[in-house]
């Protein structure tokens, strides 16, 4: 199964209220002493998170345990059924989901507005009760729609949610995804479009998720784009280009420089590791990604 279909499947399960608690595999070996000491060695400039779906063959509690030991503060793209388990291990979910209709059916299509509004209105109090303050959302696919109409339609739907988002102190965060390789026809596929939508919505409770992997594919110029638009960005994701695998020397981006640029903007939020590890020891790849980004 492709990474795209895996993530889409996970979104649809959450949207229908199905838990994503994978129990298909337990960690066979414990994190060794050097890995356990990583948390104490982290520099504190980056708040580290990991996307759950990339490790869906590892039992959720095992991922939480290992993540905590290596210094993670968050496991994200998790739903309400998983939040109590995160709390048990002293973790948060920096970018939860639990509302919406998935990636392809989003706010750019008015036929979905009523259902989307009801869905997000329902999740806001749950987020607040769990001590969480963000939730992911999507533009939807173009289906022949031009950019301007897409912004107009998205803004109409999102504005109807801003009063509740402000009440519950939740920021809706629309993800920038590539439409070239992984998410064909997705509308929010360039930073400029997302920024224009932020301006049209006109609320601090709506911002963007800048996925570095996706935006390298679509537009490149990652560091300058971050510096120029950081005020509209509420969260970051990593991923190696090409292939969305480890973020090491096997790919074209140099993540220490990107992380420095993010820190230099004054960003205090989370960076979520969202690469699909190729190595057999997937947790070793995760630890490596955290270390690379811990500038």
The pLDDT tens digits for 254-291 are 999 999 999 999 999 999 999 999 999 999 999 999 99
195: left (phi over 0), alpha (psi -120 to 50) or beta: alpha
The CATH number linked to 272 is 3.20.20.150
The answer on pLDDT for 222 being more than 60 is yes
| Residue-level pLDDT at 177 | 98
- Rounded to 5 degrees, φ, ψ at 173 are -125, 115
Using an 8 Å Cβ cutoff, are 256 and 264 in contact?
no
Structural domain boundaries, residue 259? 3-293
pLDDT for residue 9 is more than 80: no
User: Contact 208/215 with Cβ under 8 angstroms?
Assistant: no
- Asked if omega into 196 is within 30° of 0 (cis), the reply is no
pLDDT of residue 11: 53
**188-196: average pLDDT:** 98
Residues 92/116, Cβ–Cβ less than 8 Å: no
Specify whether the CB–CB gap between 106 and 137 falls below 8 A: yes
Mean pLDDT of 216-227: 98
pLDDT, position 41: 81
Cβ atoms of 39 and 85 closer than 8 Å: no
Higher pLDDT, 14 or 119: 119
Domain count, the chain: 1
- Does residue 21 surpass a pLDDT of 50? no
CA dihedral 45, 51, 55, 61 (to 10 degrees): 80
Q: Looking at residue 48, what DSSP letter applies?
A: E
């Amino acid at each position: 199964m492709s990474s795209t279909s895996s993530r889409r499947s996970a979104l649809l399960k959450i949207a229908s209220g199905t838990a994503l608690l994978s129990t298909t595999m337990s960690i066979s070996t414990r994190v060794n002493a050097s890995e356990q000491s990583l948390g104490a060695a982290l520099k504190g400039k980056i708040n580290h998170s990991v996307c759950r779906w990339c490790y869906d063959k590892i039992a959720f509690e095992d991922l939480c345990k290992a993540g905590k030991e290596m210094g993670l503060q968050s496991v994200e793209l998790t739903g309400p059924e998983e939040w109590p388990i995160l709390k048990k291990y002293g973790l948060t979910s920096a970018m939860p989901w639990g509302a919406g209709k998935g990636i392809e059916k989003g706010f750019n299509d008015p036929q979905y507005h009523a259902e989307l509004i009801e869905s997000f209105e329902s999740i806001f109090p749950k987020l607040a009760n769990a001590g969480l303050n963000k939730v992911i959302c999507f533009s939807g696919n173009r289906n022949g729609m031009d950019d301007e109409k897409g912004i107009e339609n998205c803004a109409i739907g999102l504005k109807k949610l801003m009063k509740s988002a402000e009440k519950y102190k939740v920021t809706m965060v629309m993800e920038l995804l590539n439409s070239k390789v992984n998410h064909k026809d997705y509308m929010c596929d360039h930073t400029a479009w997302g920024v224009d939508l932020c301006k049209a919505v006109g609320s601090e409770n709506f911002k963007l998720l800048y996925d570095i992997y996706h935006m390298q594919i679509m537009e490149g110029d990652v560091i300058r784009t971050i510096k120029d638009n950081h005020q509209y960005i509420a969260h970051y994701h990593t991923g190696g280009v090409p292939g969305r695998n480890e973020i090491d020397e096997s790919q074209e981006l140099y993540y220490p420089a990107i992380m420095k640029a993010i820190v230099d903007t004054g960003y205090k939020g989370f960076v979520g590791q969202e690469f699909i590890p190729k190595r057999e020891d997937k947790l070793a790849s995760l630890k490596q990604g955290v270390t690379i980004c811990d500038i």
